[in-house]
Amino acid sequence: MALLPVDQALEKLLDGAEPKGTEMMPISQLRGRILATDLISKRTHPPFNASAMDGYAIKYKDAAEIGATLKVIGESAAGHGFHGTFEDGESVRIFTGAPVPSSADTILIQENTEKLKDGLIKVTAPAQPDRHIRLAGVDFSKDDVLLKKYRELDYSAITLAASMNYAEVEVFQKPLISVLATGDELVSPGEEPGIDQIIASNAFGVMAMCESAGADVMDLGIAQDKLDVIKASVQKALDSNTDILVTIGGASVGDHDLVQQALTEMGMQLNFWKIAMRPGKPLMYGTLGKMRFIGLPGNPASSLVTGSLFLAPLVRKLAGRAITTPVTTAKLTVELPENDHRQEYMRAQIQTDEQGERIATPFKRQDSSLVRVFADANGLLIRPPNAKAASKGDICDVILFEN
């Protein structure tokens, strides 16, 4: 199977991917969820004219001059309004957020008054007309569409939904991603590796990536390089109604790379295998029944680069989220040799120089096995296939990591 260009591979992978079904979730559990429908306000806010300050609800003409006196005949507090009327020369003590009595047309703030005996106040600074009153509906009105379908519900949107009087909201279901690391050489973090073993680290980064993209994640652990063990893990994913099974490692062509064989024997329809990119050439994609399958390479940089370019967009689409394409440009700070036929994604530090221009410095070491280099990078520098040698100051495409 010929090497597939990156853009064609992504197009194939996303073809037919649609958000899952919807579910109702309580307002207390909405953080990060995606609205499945427009949200229409059930109420007007504020529902009444409300005071924006502590002071006195008055008729403006009664307090237009310093020295005027008014009689306080009642009180309006939040949750306990004054629902009567008052005459000329009278006022109602009012607090922030309280309903403004119908007789009042302005608020005289308490700093501009002096308390006298017998329930009287004196004006120490003139009132101003139509001040310090939040009119009913100044924020929003009943039947306004305030949150649109596909909106990610952050703390501000959740606050608004609650203010609209929603106790629960319809959101897209999260896709379930099952992640399986493969290889006899792997042991879990915290264990003591044997003389020929290494710590399995990639899966945890991939799972975090999927959760960040909007998925629920199931950790299938580590499968030994045995067909029956790999098949048992795949079956567990199928039995759990997994939307995407992600394997890490075992997708190459060695005698111990058994993932493709196991899945093929279980009925997988292979869509593509091997991408014209570096790192991450041995990327595999197929379907097994309704479950999608992505086989990521075993080297850390390879799995994280291919995961960010292919897996994360697919997860986002299934979760009802927008597929972000954070490609921008930067100036090279170094010279680069010509590239071969594979599109290269170089781990890089992308910064802003003293002139405010974005600059990109690729790490000298780009081996796909290096974990630290990826953690130190904040983006990827893209070298197109067959790109000519680049000079310092040339403009290049870069991808900025979300964090």
Q: Are residues 167 and 189 in the same domain?
A: no
CA 181, 187, 190: angle at the middle one, nearest 5? 120
Q: Are residues 196 and 213 in the same domain?
A: yes
Last residue of a domain, one of 318, 350, 377: 318
pLDDT tens-digit series, residues 43-80: 999 999 999 999 999 999 999 999 999 999 999 999 99
- Supply the pLDDT for residue 250: 72
Q: What is the CATH number of the domain that holds 160?
A: 3.90.105.10
Phi-psi region of 79 (alpha: psi -120 to 50; beta: other; left: phi over 0): left
Q: Are residues 116 and 206 in the same domain?
A: no
Q: Are residues 127 and 203 in the same domain?
A: no
Instruction: Please state the pTM of the whole predicted model.
Output: 0.86
Total number of domains constituting the chain: 4
158 assigned to some structural domain:
yes
Range of the domain at 85: 50-134
Q: What are phi and psi of 335, to 5 degrees?
A: -85, 150
- Supply the pLDDT for residue 273: 87
Q: Are residues 198 and 271 in the same domain?
A: yes
Distances (CA, A) of 345 to 203, 277, 280, 337, 342: 20, 8, 9, 14, 10
Determine the straight-line distance between the first and last CA of the chain, rounded to whole angstroms. 36
1 assigned to some structural domain:
no
CA 139, 141, 143: angle at the middle one, nearest 5? 140
pLDDT tens-digit series, residues 318-349: 999 988 767 899 999 999 999 999 999 999 99
294 assigned to some structural domain:
yes
Q: Are residues 189 and 302 in the same domain?
A: yes
Cα pseudo-dihedral 154, 156, 157, 161, rounded to 10: 130
Q: Are residues 202 and 301 in the same domain?
A: yes
Q: Are residues 314 and 370 in the same domain?
A: no
Q: What is the CATH number of the domain that holds 286?
A: 3.40.980.10
**258-283 burial string, b = 16+ CB within 10 Å, else e?**
bbbebbeeeebeebbbbbbbbbbbbb
DSSP conformation letters of 261-300: HHHHHTT-EEEEE-BSEES----EEEEETTEEEEEE-SSH
Q: Are residues 314 and 346 in the same domain?
A: no
pLDDT tens-digit series, residues 51-60: 999 999 999 9
Last residue of a domain, one of 266, 287, 318: 318
Is residue 369 very low, low, confident or very high in pLDDT (cuts 50, 70, 90)?
confident
